[in-house]
């Protein structure tokens, strides 16, 4: 059944058709599934009175419990009329939402509820950091990522849920959290029982691997089509820019440096910025590079459909394996 629905009444899980011509909105496709908070907000920001919802293609998510609701990010809470308004003193520029720390420390939530609360609040944190990458915010975010890392290392069930609930929109903050989570799980699997690795600094590097994108022109970053050669060259400054940002904030560990500078290097020498080959790329760079490609393939962009996890892993194995360390890729496949 098709129903007219006002923008404010839209929910994640609704399959919508935009009523007007594609010239009047920001999307290249005019029908799609709202599968993330970010996409929901993007639709709600359009100058449209309503959209058409196909109820048969929609699968609304279960209403969260009162308990889990309390831990959802403020950004989601303000859009939900059932919630209290955000407290007076809440400041949208606070780098780390209190609700993230509450979610991490909660003893009451189930593994799934906890994963959802940590994930949504991590998105809020990364969004804030990318909007305002000050030294203070970088340090506060690194401390929160360190707590998320402890949680991922100690709670296997929650960590597995985190992998399952990732959303696949095209925002850098979503990508950063997704790559942060999956790279950390891969590092956990590879380095289990070894004291030789500082997983907290690795976690920071994985979550912050694309911080330098704040220095890339947003029009190029969000261009809904393939980039030209000149635009590619511009995007390729982001590893170095991320390195500089962390260095000037006095927050650059060796782990972060390796991850940020090497996450686009491929072992066949076709990556950037230095076209490193094989063992010239550190294992930390290799881990993040695999998680990065996987998240890019599974993300939905306005000009391309998202691949399924299975489809992305198959493509990486069959068409891109020369880019990756086969053993590390094999461990990554085991996560899914
Ligand atoms: Fe990147
Ligand atoms: Fe990335």
| Per-residue pLDDT tens digits for 264-318 | 999 999 999 999 999 999 999 999 999 999 999 999 876 778 899 999 999 999 9
Instruction: Look at residue 121 in the predicted model and tell me its pLDDT.
Output: 93
Q: Residue 33 belongs to what domain range?
A: 2-54
Compute, in angstroms, the gap from residue 210 CA to the centroid of ligand 2.
5
In the chain, the number of structural domains is 2
Compute, in angstroms, the gap from residue 85 CA to the centroid of ligand 1.
36
Q: Are residues 179 and 45 in the same domain?
A: no
Q: Are residues 34 and 181 in the same domain?
A: no
Instruction: Look at residue 83 in the predicted model and tell me its pLDDT.
Output: 37
How confident is residue 85, by pLDDT bands cut at 50, 70 and 90?
very low
Using a CB cutoff of 5 Å, list residues around ligand 2, an ion.
210, 292
CATH number at residue 97: 1.10.3210.10
Q: Are residues 49 and 165 in the same domain?
A: no
Angle separating helix axes 283-298 and 326-334, nearest 10 degrees: 50
Point out the domain boundary residue: 11, 28, 54: 54
Torsion from C-alpha of 177, 163, 103, 158, nearest 10 degrees: -150
> Closest ligand to 236 CA?
1
Compute, in angstroms, the gap from residue 320 CA to the centroid of ligand 1.
17
Q: Which two tokens stand for residue 35?
A: 């599968």
pTM of the model: 0.73
CA atoms of 3 and 5, how far apart (whole Å): 6
Residue 147 in contact with residue 17, Cβ under 8 Å?
no
Q: Are residues 100 and 230 in the same domain?
A: yes
Q: Are residues 282 and 177 in the same domain?
A: yes
Q: Give whole-number Cα distances, 79 to 8, 84, 86, in Å.
A: 8, 10, 11
Compute, in angstroms, the gap from residue 54 CA to the centroid of ligand 2.
33
CA atoms of 215 and 236, how far apart (whole Å): 11
Q: Are residues 49 and 159 in the same domain?
A: no
Strands 15-17 and 2-6: unpaired
Compute, in angstroms, the gap from residue 257 CA to the centroid of ligand 1.
13
H-only helix segments in the chain: 37-44, 66-69, 74-78, 98-105, 111-131, 135-154, 156-164, 172-191, 199-207, 218-221, 229-235, 238-248, 254-262, 283-298, 309-319, 326-334
Is 60 part of any domain?
no
Torsion from C-alpha of 114, 117, 122, 127, nearest 10 degrees: 170
Q: Are residues 16 and 139 in the same domain?
A: no
Is 59 part of any domain?
no
Q: Summarize pLDDT for 154-213 with one digit per residue, the tens.
A: 999 999 999 999 888 889 999 999 999 999 999 999 998 899 999 999 999 999 999 999
């Amino acid at each position: 059944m098709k129903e007219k629905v006002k923008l404010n009444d839209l929910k994640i899980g609704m399959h919508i058709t935009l009523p007007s011509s594609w010239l009047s909105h920001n999307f290249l496709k005019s029908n799609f599934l709202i599968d993330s908070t970010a996409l929901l907000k993007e639709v709600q920001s359009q100058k449209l009175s309503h959209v058409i919802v196909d109820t048969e293609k929609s699968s609304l998510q279960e209403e969260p419990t009162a308990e889990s609701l309390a831990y959802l990010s403020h950004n989601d809470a303000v859009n939900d009329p059932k919630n209290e308004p955000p407290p007076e003193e809440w400041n949208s520029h606070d780098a780390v939402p209190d609700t993230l720390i509450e979610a991490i420390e909660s003893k009451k939530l189930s593994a799934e509820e906890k994963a959802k609360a940590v994930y949504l609040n991590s998105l809020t944190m990364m969004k804030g950091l990318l909007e305002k990458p000050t030294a203070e915010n970088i340090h506060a975010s690194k401390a929160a990522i360190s707590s998320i890392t402890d949680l991922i290392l100690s709670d296997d069930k929650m960590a597995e849920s985190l992998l399952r609930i990732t959303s696949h929109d095209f925002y850098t903050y979503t990508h950063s959290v997704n790559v942060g989570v999956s790279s950390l799980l891969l590092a956990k699997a590879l380095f289990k029982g070894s004291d030789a690795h500082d997983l907290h600094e690795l976690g920071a590097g994985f979550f912050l691997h694309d911080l330098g994108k704040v220095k890339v022109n947003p029009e190029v970053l969000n261009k809904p089509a393939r980039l030209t050669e000149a635009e590619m060259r511009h995007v390729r400054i982001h590893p170095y820019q991320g390195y500089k940002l962390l260095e000037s904030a006095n927050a650059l560990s060796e782990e972060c440096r390796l991850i940020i500078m090497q996450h686009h290097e491929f072992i066949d020498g076709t990556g950037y910025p230095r076209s490193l080959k094989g063992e010239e790329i550190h294992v930390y760079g290799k881990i993040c590079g695999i998680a990065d490609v996987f998240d890019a393939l599974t993300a939905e962009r306005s000009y391309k459909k998202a691949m399924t996890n299975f489809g992305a892993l198959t493509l990486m194995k069959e068409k891109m394996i020369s880019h990756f360390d086969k053993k590390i890729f094999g461990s990554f496949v085991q996560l899914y």
